[in-house]
Structure 1
Amino acid sequence: MNYFRQLYQLMLAGAQAQARWELEMSTNILHSRKRRYFLLLLILPVLLGGIAAFAGDLELPSVIGGKSAYMPSHYTTFIFVCAIFVGLAAGLITGCIGAGGGFIIAPALMSFGVKGILAVGTDLFHIFAKAIMGSVLHKKLGNICVGLALTFLVGSITGATVGGVLNRWLYDFNPVLSDMFITSVYVIILGFLAFYAMKDYLTTRSGMKKSGKTDSPESISPMGAKLQAINLPPMLTFDKGITPGGRKISALFLVISGFIVGMAAAIMGVGGGFLTFPIFVYGLGVSSMTTVGTDIFQIIFTAGYAALTQYALYGFVFYTLALGMLLGSLIGVQMGSLITRVVPGYLIRGFYALAVTAGFVNRFFALPSKLDSMGYIDISKSTGTILNSIGNTLFFVTIGAFTVWVLYIFFTHLNELRSED
């Protein structure tokens, strides 16, 4: 049980690192006039197209990509507004909680009727667009060990290829099987996170949480020390500015780590950043400074490669949704991060547990109908529909209530937040 608790702490650390990245990218975009203009140029055609379609002056293509019966990717103003809401909610969760927002995007899109493979491809493209627009790489290059980053990319690109091919193969074989696979992955991961997040919140609230020592990001973790002690050529040197002579690790471990990150990114559509931090810092013994720089570097290439070559080329990116999510998340993450100044810490833990649990419940209740469609269980169609509706209702009520609460806190404390700035 202690092992699973430690695994949860590692995944939480990774999600928090991903949240810090999201906030930095959003800040870079919104605080730059040129980047704001570029964002407007991207979104303007979508808005104009929606107005024209609504007015009946322009007939837009009804479907983007293959197997139209299984992927409602048609453009409507409603679906664009839904995308903005999904991005806003994910951004508010990320900014306020400091973790977890990215985990609700794919479940939310699938709940709106978007097929799993399209939700994954669209989310990856949204992450890639944010990384390209928001990254200020020249500020981070001093923290990047080029050999470390490139070796990691060998693994992550390979993993992203395998994950993308697997998702597409499952979809071509049977679209329902593809949805069931992606849903099952989310059920397992979100179920694990939800259990420990809720346990962590209840323990904190009752005042029984014991403080314990954790490894400093600048010290070598026990696992990192063991791996660095294995002399398996070729060996890579890094962190020369932190440890005299630097640290060394076999390229093989980096390739394996990259493969895991790339495959997870391509299957779940989460960018891989939530895995890079715990793997680098706690698994490989890399300093936090080097990890942050390398993480930004790898997200651009891993998410970009997976989004473009594994999904976009095959018609599995819904660009309208991606732009809507980008717009909503940029605003949401900024607002969410501000209200952490006026919200108690234990409440933030509680909302993290609630958000992850909502995502788990949503996918868990969607699973029976997919298992029935594949012949693995036998339930009536009406039962499957009812369970799916229950999951969607609980999910959107929870996320919607959280969004309204955050907006209420933000606007009622606006003067206080302004004075602090």
Structure 2
Amino acid sequence: MNFARKFYTALQQAAMAHARWDLEVSTSIIRDKRKVWLLAILTALGLMVSLAFADDLNLPAMLGGSKAYTPAFYTTGIFVASIAIGVCAGLITGCIGAGGGFIITPALMSAGIKGILAVGTDLFHIFAKAIMGTAVHKKLGNVSVGLAVAFLVGSGAGVLGGGVLNRMIYEANPVASDAFISVIYVVLLGFLGMYAMLDFLRLRKAGNGGDAHGGGGSSSGGLPAKLQSAHIPPMISFDEDLIPGGKKISGLFVALCGVIVGFMAAIMGVGGGFLTFPMFVYVLGVSSFTTVGTDILQIIFTAGFAAITQYAIYGFIFYTLAMGMLLGSLLGIQIGALVTKLVPGLYIRGFYALAILAGFVNRLFAMPSKLNDMKILSINLDLCAFLTNVGNWLFFLTIGVFAVWVIGTFLSKIKELREG
């Protein structure tokens, strides 16, 4: 139980670090007129493409079928839905201070997009945002070059493994691919959701409003000490600015952590930040200061490498869908960040827990239908459809209520924000 609590705290810190990066990148894009115009042009092109193919009745079937190599076109409805999903993810990131990317893949799958396409598109969306918002990020000065190189070598290998596995499962059985991705999200979101709700209830019972963004520390003993004492070449020095003489650790351990992060990022369609932070701080014993800078760097390269080499060249990315999510998230994250100035942290943490649990229920309730299609279980089709619909409604209703509440708070108190 104690280990699970520490692991949840580490994941929470990772989500916070990723959210801070996401907010800075989004703000950088919004404040640059050239980037705003570029985004507007790309969005207009996406809308034109979706309108041009809106009457082609074969395209939705292709999107939901078993063909791997299909055109990246879709209906106007899906384009609008992608903007809405981006807004909701942005609101969660900006308002809660924790990465909202965990809802994107489940949301896209619930909207009818194949799991592998949702993963590839989400990775490209992350990469596109990083490229547009980060030229030479000032925080990259915190990066230990040795740690970064070893980690990226490992993450590259992990991305290759995760991408190949995802495509192999999809080519063998598209339904199995959706089921595989859903299982990963069920396990992760179930764990995070349970502990997030327990945290909320504990703070509520104690009468403590709490910080919406949580907290945590780092680790310098235990496993990190053992790994740092193992002298396996090449040895990498880090944290020289914080500790006289710095610390040293084998590049092999750093690369192995990169393999795990890259593998999970390629399978789940995330930047990998949710794992980088706990691994660096709690496994390798790297300071939070150095970890944040390295995390920013790895998100750009891991997401970009995975998106291009494992999904884009195989036709598993909808570029216009990614642009819709990017547009929505840029808007949502700005509103969410402003609302944190007006709302007690306790309520925000409660919504965070509910949002994670909604994603968990959504993927869990979709599993009977997947298992039935795979002939693993024999379940009544009407029951499968009912469970899937219940999961979808609960998910979108929870996220929708949160979005309406945040936007409503923003609009009703906009005068107060201006005065502040």
Q: TM-score, normalised by structure 2?
A: 0.93
For the pair 1:414 / 2:414, whether they are aligned, the reply is yes
CA–CA distance in 2 between the matches of 1:398 and 1:72? 32
Q: Partner of 1:384 in structure 2?
A: 384
- By how many angstroms is 1:17 displaced? 1.2
Q: Partner of 1:87 in structure 2?
A: 86
Query: Relative to 1, partners in 2 of residues 1:230 and 1:69: Cα closer, same or farther, differing over 3 Å?
Result: closer
CA–CA distance in 1 between the matches of 2:29 and 2:98? 20
Q: Partner of 2:39 in structure 1?
A: 39
SS at match of 1:232: coil
Instruction: For 1:21-36, list aligned pairs within 5 A.
Output: 21-36=21-36
Q: Deviations over 1:284-327 (max 9, x none)?
A: 11122221221111111110010011011110001111000000
For the pair 1:244 / 2:270, whether they are aligned, the reply is no
Structure 2 residues without counterparts, runs of 5 or longer: none
Q: Partner of 1:13 in structure 2?
A: 13
Structure 1 residues without counterparts, runs of 5 or longer: none
CA–CA distance in 2 between the matches of 1:60 and 1:394? 30
Q: Partner of 1:205 in structure 2?
A: 204
1:182 maps to amino acid = I
Would you say the 8 A contact 2:51–2:75 is kept in 1? no
- By how many angstroms is 1:230 displaced? 1.7
Percent identity, aligned pairs only, is 58
Q: TM-score, normalised by structure 1?
A: 0.93
- By how many angstroms is 1:65 displaced? 11
- By how many angstroms is 1:43 displaced? 1.6
CA–CA distance in 2 between the matches of 1:299 and 1:369? 34
CA–CA distance in 1 between the matches of 2:303 and 2:270? 8
2:396 maps to amino acid = F
CA–CA distance in 1 between the matches of 2:216 and 2:390? 42
Would you say the 8 A contact 2:72–2:317 is kept in 1? no
Would you say the 8 A contact 1:70–1:175 is kept in 2? no
For the pair 1:195 / 2:191, whether they are aligned, the reply is no
Q: Partner of 2:227 in structure 1?
A: 227
Q: Deviations over 1:125-147 (max 9, x none)?
A: 00000111111425233212222
4+ runs deviating over 6 angstroms: 58-62, 69-72
Q: Deviations over 1:66-122 (max 9, x none)?
A: 934998964111110000000000110111111141111000000011010000000
Query: Relative to 1, partners in 2 of residues 1:221 and 1:411: Cα closer, same or farther, differing over 3 Å?
Result: farther
CA–CA distance in 2 between the matches of 1:138 and 1:320? 27
1:175 maps to amino acid = P
Q: Partner of 1:336 in structure 2?
A: 336
71-80 vs 342-351, greater mean Cα deviation:
71-80
- By how many angstroms is 1:413 displaced? 1.0
- By how many angstroms is 1:334 displaced? 1.0
CA–CA distance in 1 between the matches of 2:299 and 2:99? 17
Query: Relative to 1, partners in 2 of residues 1:59 and 1:180: Cα closer, same or farther, differing over 3 Å?
Result: closer
- By how many angstroms is 1:374 displaced? 1.6
Query: Relative to 1, partners in 2 of residues 1:65 and 1:315: Cα closer, same or farther, differing over 3 Å?
Result: farther
Instruction: For 1:144-163, list aligned pairs within 5 A.
Output: 144-163=143-162
Would you say the 8 A contact 1:25–1:135 is kept in 2? yes
Q: Partner of 1:128 in structure 2?
A: 127
CA–CA distance in 2 between the matches of 1:101 and 1:321? 17
Instruction: For 1:301-312, list aligned pairs within 5 A.
Output: 301-312=301-312
Q: Give the RMSD, CA atoms, in angstroms.
A: 2.4
- By how many angstroms is 1:38 displaced? 2.1
CA–CA distance in 2 between the matches of 1:122 and 1:399? 20
CA–CA distance in 2 between the matches of 1:292 and 1:393? 36
Would you say the 8 A contact 1:125–1:304 is kept in 2? yes
Q: Partner of 1:181 in structure 2?
A: 180
CA–CA distance in 1 between the matches of 2:378 and 2:69? 22
SS at match of 2:206: coil
